[in-house]
Homo-oligomer: A and B are copies of this chain.
Amino acid sequence: MKKLGIAMIGYGGIGRVHAMAYKAIPFHYGLPADSFRIVGVATTRPETAQKAAAEIGCEVWTSDYRELLARSDVDLIDCCTPNYNHEEIIVAAAEAGKHIYCEKPLAMNVAEGQRMVAAVEKAGVKTQLTFNFRFFPAMIRARQLIEAGFLGRVFSFRGRYYRASYISPQKPLSWRLSKEVSGGGALFDLGSHVLDLIYYLLGDFSAVQATMETLIKERPLAAGSTETGRVDVDDLALLHVRLKDQTLGLIEASRMGTGATNDLQIEIFGEQGALRFSLEDPSWLQVYDVRDPEKPLGGMRGFKRLETVQHYEGQKAPDWTMTPTFTRAHSECQYQFLKAVRDDLPSPPTLAHGLHIQEAMAAAERSAAEGRWVKLEEVR
């Protein structure tokens, strides 16, 4: 691997996870530590940028990300900013000829996403959107099984992502609760992950019927404040979804899922088999095989929890019999992107794939507003 230089743009909670995940790559894959490096980091304010650089151990920090784009030792950017400035940064990076690794969701809306995809396609750079849940071993294994015909005809599917992050009415307003900065609420933040997993496993969407709700409509402007402001994004989104091949399913996202830590679940029911996955039990993919004999006394029928525990292709020893995690999956998707850049390989999910998710979310919003099924083609 040539010595790839990475510029980190944005360094909040998820930026820190990305940086930590990069540092683990050499150990997971047996690579020299200098195969790639984080060249510098940009955040909005100089002081946070400096602190980030110290934590990362890189020398360059700035409050102007364009400085990083201007450097010849930067091969790719990793964009971890809030959604509202994705477009500006990604378009600028593309024009600077940098490869692009970007946190989800792609954009504030479909129009923005279309402009971003046009820019990166014009520039011919590699892109990847960080849908890291695709990179859990259980999801990789699920796709292998589906491609091998394990399920037969798919009857229906279910996907959900519930968190309890906003159940307290005292939790103050933040950028994630403002449509102007985030573009959307539970659907954008959590639902996008589920949409991507279903897209990854089962294919393109064609139409959506959604009900979306803001359960807590007013929140304090700051912790402890008596002044309140309006929440203008959804905290609960319930979708009926139809795939291009007409398969029907259910997708849900909630920030008001009392008791949930990271309750992301996928279930797929097919004529020949079924699959289940739960992020709270991430080491296993549950599979059911209708081809198993039914006799005697139930025969060999039943759900089997496949041992996918950190079985990544080409992985070295560390942790391989231990529970996979969020951070480990980040290392995997970063590694796949670094390889794609180095060896000129496809790098799904690209920004174009992310645009499809953006369209599904736009269709959901219109459906919720109009109380009817909306086709993705209506929002393009």
A84 CA / B335 CA spacing, docked (Å): 37
Candidates B167, B307, B318; contact of A271 at CB < 8 Å: B167
9-residue interface stretch from A87-95, A277-285, A338-346: A277-285
Of residues 266 to 308 in A, which have CB atoms within 8 Å of B's CB atoms?
269-271, 273-274, 276, 280-284, 287-288, 290, 296-308
B236 and A258 contact, CB distance less than 8 A? no
Contact present for B141 and A298 (CB under 8 Å): yes
Fill in one digit per residue for A314-332: 1 if any B CB lies within 8 Å of its CB, else 0: 0011110111111110000
Q: Is the beta-carbon distance between A307 and B261 smaller than 8 angstroms?
A: yes
A26 and B57 contacting across the interface, CB-CB below 8 Å: yes
Per the bound structure, the CA–CA distance linking A371 and B326 in Å amounts to 39
CA distance A240 to B368 in the complex (A): 12
A313 touches B297 (CB 8 A): yes
Name which of A12-20, A71-79, A122-130 contacts chain B: A12-20
Q: How far is the CA of A213 from the CA of B316 in the complex (A)?
A: 32
Q: Are B298 and A258 in contact (CB under 8 A)?
A: no
Q: A258-B271, A302-B306 are in contact. Are A24 and B16 (CB under 8 A)?
A: no
Interface check A137, CB cutoff 8 A: yes
Q: Which of A321-380 contact B (CB under 8 A)?
A: 321-328, 371-373
Could you tell me the distance between the alpha carbons of A300 and B286 in the complex, rounded to whole angstroms? 10
Whether B27 contacts A16 by the Cβ 8 Å rule is yes
A111 adjacent to chain B (CB < 8 Å): no
Contact B325 A236 (CB under 8 A): no
Indicate whether A17 sits within 8 Å of B144 (C-beta atoms), given known contacts A257-B269, A309-B261: no
- Kindly state the interface size class of chain A when it binds its partner: 35 or more
* B32-A54 in contact (CB<8A): yes
The answer to the question of A46 belonging to the interface, with a C-beta cut-off of 8 Å to chain B, is no
Q: A4: CB under 8 A from chain B?
A: no
Contacts of A284 in B (CB 8 A): 302
Given contacts A20-B24, A24-B23, A34-B57, contact A259 B141 (CB under 8 A): no
Stretch at the interface among A175-183, A196-204, A219-227, A247-255: A247-255
A236 — which chain B residues lie within 8 A by C-beta? 155-156, 248
**Smallest Cβ-Cβ distance to A331: which chain B residue:** B20
- Please state if A27 and B13 are interface contacts (CB–CB under 8 Å): no
Q: Is A311 an interface residue (CB 8 A)?
A: yes
A30 within 8 Å of B by Cβ? yes
**Are A137's CB and B259's CB within 8 A?**
no
CB-CB under 8 A from A319, the residues of chain B are 17, 325-327
- Nearest Cβ on chain B to A272's Cβ, whole angstroms: 8
* Complex contacts, A57 vs chain B, CB 8 Å: 26, 32-34
Residue of B nearest to A54 (CB): B32
With an 8 A cutoff between CB atoms, is A60 at the interface? Answer: no
Asked whether, in the complex, the Cβ of A259 is within 8 Å of the Cβ of B54, the reply is no
Q: Which residues of B have CB within 8 Å of A288?
A: 258-259
User: For residue A258, which residues in chain B have a CB less than 8 angstroms away from its CB?
Assistant: 155, 269-271, 273-274, 288, 290
Q: A23-42: which have CB < 8 Å to B?
A: 23-24, 26-28, 30-34
Can you list 8 residue pairs at the A/B interface with Cβ under 8 Å?
Answer: A26-B55, A141-B296, A155-B256, A156-B213, A156-B254, A169-B271, A250-B250, A262-B322
Given A162-B269, A257-B274, 10 further pairs, Cβ under 8 A: A32-B54, A155-B236, A156-B213, A156-B254, A167-B269, A238-B240, A238-B248, A258-B288, A280-B323, A300-B304
10 tightest A-B contacts by CB?
A: A33-B57, A259-B288, A304-B304, A20-B27, A258-B274, A259-B274, A297-B311, A322-B326, A32-B54, A13-B317
